[in-house]
């Protein structure tokens, strides 16, 4: 049987909901190694305004926000900007959020032997593949696991993770929700603008197939073999290929010849949220997303 680990991403440093959900997950998954992780809010933001799409922001700029968010996405694809932003996040974020990080680390330590992984990836929700690779290169390779599950705080399970995922390792190196060829109708096929063309160019330069793929990133399953191969090939996921993780990772892995498949999770979607009544009327499905509030089983 495959050994599973779960990269559990907190939305911020003060999420009581995420802590409670992690506590329940640990109780029903004693054989799964959980890696608690939190992404620091981006501090180098181009243009220099903050909008509600950046984790940790408390400001809502209805007119300026979407435009500045788009410009920032494009800016991070420029040579050196992603690395500079990462360095500034690490320098400033670790200083300004020191007390909150210490508090979260201490609370996590009470329930989880793995230490809290603090990530400084720019726009981490759009670049979670980079966050995973950075964790693996720096500390993750020391853990004993065969497959890594990317678990976000708004995923809810009614069954143990090894029960939900155990059928996939036999056939696949990686699996994604809504995995398939990307089409023009998918929002992120060309967002940020030009990303599809730039991604194909990146693939052609490496003599790889240029078919683009899509996914919902959360809940994906990645084999250790994949992570080791990406590290060996020194593939840079920090802003290049120029697109978001939901296109970048399935596209790159498929192009490299890994066996990629679609997760059969009928109650996993982008939106709207699932109600507790819907969950427990369909609990045999095992996994649900998004679930934005704690269920009764998590508050007892």
The domain that holds 147 is classified in CATH as 3.90.550.10
Which residues make Cβ contacts (< 8 Å) with residue 84, sequence separation at least 6? 44
Position 76 scores a pLDDT of 92
Q: Is the pLDDT reported for residue 170 higher than 80?
A: yes
7 CB-side CA count, 13 A = 30
Q: Is the pLDDT reported for residue 168 higher than 90?
A: yes
> Which tokens sit at 192?
């940020």
Nearest to 28 by CA among 264, 271, 283: 283
In 1-41, DSSP assigns E strands to 4-10, 33-39
> How far from the centroid of its chain's Cα atoms is residue 36's Cα?
12
Q: Is the pLDDT reported for residue 112 higher than 70?
A: no
Task: Give strand pairing partners of 33.
Answer: 5
What's the rounded Cα separation, in Å, for the pair 106 and 265?
Answer: 34
> Which tokens sit at 109?
């330590």
Number of domains in the chain: 1
- Quote the DSSP letter at residue 1: -
pTM equals 0.95
Query: Per residue in 182-194, pLDDT tens?
Result: 999 999 999 999 9
**Quick one: average pLDDT of 49-76?**
76
Mutual angle of helices 128-138 and 245-255, in 10-degree steps = 60
| % of the chain surpassing 90 pLDDT | 78
Phi, psi of 283 (to 5 degrees): -65, -20
Q: Dihedral angle at the C-alpha atoms of 169, 137, 181, 164, nearest 10 degrees?
A: 30
What's the rounded Cα separation, in Å, for the pair 132 and 209?
Answer: 24
Mean per-residue pLDDT of the chain: 92
Position 66 scores a pLDDT of 82
Per the structure, the complete domain to which residue 284 belongs is given by 4-299
Are the C-beta atoms of residues 102 and 118 closer than 8 Å to each other?
A: no
> Distance from first CA to last CA of the chain, Å, rounded?
32
């Amino acid at each position: 049987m495959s050994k599973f680990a779960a990269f559990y991403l907190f939305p911020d440093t003060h999420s009581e909901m995420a802590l409670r959900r992690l506590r329940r997950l640990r109780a029903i998954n004693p054989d799964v190694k959980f890696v608690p992780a939190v992404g620091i809010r981006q501090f180098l933001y181009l243009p220099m305004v903050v909008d509600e799409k950046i984790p940790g922001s408390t400001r809502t700029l209805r007119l300026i926000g979407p435009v500045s968010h788009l410009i920032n996405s494009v800016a991070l694809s420029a040579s050196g900007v992603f690395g500079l932003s990462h360095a500034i996040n690490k320098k400033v974020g670790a200083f300004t959020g020191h007390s909150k990080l210490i508090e979260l680390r201490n609370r996590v330590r009470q329930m989880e032997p793995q230490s809290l992984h603090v990530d400084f990836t720019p726009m981490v929700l759009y670049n979670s593949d980079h966050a995973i690779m950075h964790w693996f290169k720096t500390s993750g390779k020391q853990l004993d696991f065969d497959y890594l599950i990317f678990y976000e705080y708004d995923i809810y399970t009614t069954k143990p993770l090894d029960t939900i995922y155990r059928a996939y390792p036999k056939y696949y190196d990686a699996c994604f929700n809504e995995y398939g060829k990307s089409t023009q109708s998918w929002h992120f096929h060309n967002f940020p603008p030009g990303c599809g063309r730039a991604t194909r160019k990146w693939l052609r330069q490496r003599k790889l197939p240029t078919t683009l793929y899509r996914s919902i990133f959360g809940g994906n399953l990645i084999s250790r073999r994949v992570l080791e191969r990406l590290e060996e090939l020194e593939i840079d996921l920090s802003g290049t290929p120029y697109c978001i993780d939901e296109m970048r990772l399935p596209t790159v892995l498929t192009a490299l010849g890994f066996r990629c498949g679609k997760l059969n999770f009928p109650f996993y979607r982008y939106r709207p949220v699932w109600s507790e009544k819907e969950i427990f009327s369909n609990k045999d499905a095992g996994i649900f997303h998004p679930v934005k509030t704690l269920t009764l089983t998590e508050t007892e």
